[in-house]
């Protein structure tokens, strides 16, 4: 069930990557280490190490289309993107950091 949440999500010029690690999902900014996220419900997850929560949003067919990160009193909506787009964003961000 949770495998449908695995993927890349864009926020601005950055990417949040959700992966599966055995029985848990983990979330991390692209190029960084991440933290496990734990289910509160079928669509709501929380971090034990961070004061943040994630809500996955699905379409009528049950496909994950975005997520919302709830942190520090604010919400950030991130749309799901394909692997090619995620790599392009990560490469562009890395290039900007070198200059």
State pLDDT tens for residues 31-82: 888 899 999 999 999 999 889 999 999 999 999 999 999 998 899 999 999 9
**pLDDT at residue 19, as a whole number:** 94
| This prediction's pTM | 0.89
Residue of 23 and 42 predicted with greater confidence = 42
Q: Kindly tell me if the per-residue pLDDT of 96 is higher than 80.
A: no
HSE (side-chain half, CA atoms, 13 Å) at 41: 7
Q: Kindly tell me if the per-residue pLDDT of 99 is higher than 70.
A: no
**pLDDT at residue 43, as a whole number:** 95
Topology (CATH level 3) of domain 2-98: Lipocalin (2.40.128)
How far is residue 84's CA from residue 8's CA, in Å, rounded to a whole number? 10
Q: Kindly tell me if the per-residue pLDDT of 90 is higher than 90.
A: no
């Amino acid at each position: 069930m949770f495998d449908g949440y695995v993927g890349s999500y864009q926020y601005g010029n950055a990417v949040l990557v959700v992966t599966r690690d055995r029985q848990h999902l983990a979330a991390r900014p692209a190029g960084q280490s991440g933290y496990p996220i734990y289910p509160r419900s079928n669509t709501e997850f929380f971090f034990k190490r961070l004061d943040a929560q994630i809500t996955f949003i699905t379409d009528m067919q049950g496909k994950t289309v975005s997520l919302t990160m709830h942190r520090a009193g604010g919400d950030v909506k991130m749309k799901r993107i394909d692997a090619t787009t995620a790599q392009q964003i990560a490469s562009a961000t890395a290039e900007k950091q070198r200059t």
